Amino acid sequence: MVSIFQIFLVFLKIGAFTFGGGLAMIPVIKREIVDKGWINEDELSDYIAVGQTAPGMIAVNIAILVGTHLKKWKGAIAAVLGVILPSLIVITLIASFLNEFNTIPLVQSALKGIMLVVIILLAFALFDIGKKAVKNVFLLAYAFFCFAMLYFFSIPTSIVILFSILIGSVHAYVIYRKQVRK
C-alpha cells in the first residue's frame, strides 16, 4: 500500500527533475508510477488525456488524478504539493536574482542544454503515447489533421479541442452502433 508521504516524495522528485512542463514529465511519471505498479499504462493514458483537456497545468492535473486514484483527496493534495513545490522554489529564486542570473554565460548555456533535453522528452512522450493511442488509420489521419490545423493554419487550440470532442463522439457512436447490430 502506498503512503501519502510516498506520493508526495515521488511527485516531488518528478517536479524537481523534469523540465519543460507536464508533457515532458510523462516519461518520468511513467517510470516513477507505472513501473512501481501504482497505476497501469492505460490509466496513465486516460489521465494524460483528461489532464490535457482540463483547464490548468497538465502536471498538476495528472498529479490530482493519480493522487486521487491512490489515496483520495489526501493523495491528490500530497501529489500536487510535491509536483509544484520545486517549481515554486526555483521560480522564486530566479525572480529574486533575475537581472544578475540572466547575464551569466554558464546559465545561458545550461538553459540551452535544458531546452534540448525538453525537446527530446517531448518527442519521447509523443511517440510513447502515440503508439498506444493511435489504433487505426483514421486516428492517425485525424492526429495529422489536427496538427495541420494548429501549426499551418493557426486555428485556436480551443476550437480544435471542441472539434475533436465532436468528431470523437461521432466516432464512438458509430463504433457503438456497429457493436449493437452484431
Q: Which amino acid is at 3?
A: S
Residue 104 DSSP SS3: coil
- Residue 132, all three cell numbers: 498506444
**Residue 22 pLDDT class (50, 70, 90 cuts):** low
pTM over 0.75? The answer is: no
pLDDT at 42 over 90: no
Q: Name which residue leads in pLDDT, 144 or 24.
A: 144
Other C-beta atoms closer than 10 Å to the C-beta of 70 total 22
- Report the distance separating Cα 56 and Cα 83, nearest Å: 14
| All structural domains of the chain with their residue ranges | 4-133, 134-182
pLDDT at 45 over 90: no
pLDDT at 98 over 70: no
Mean pLDDT of 84-105: 79
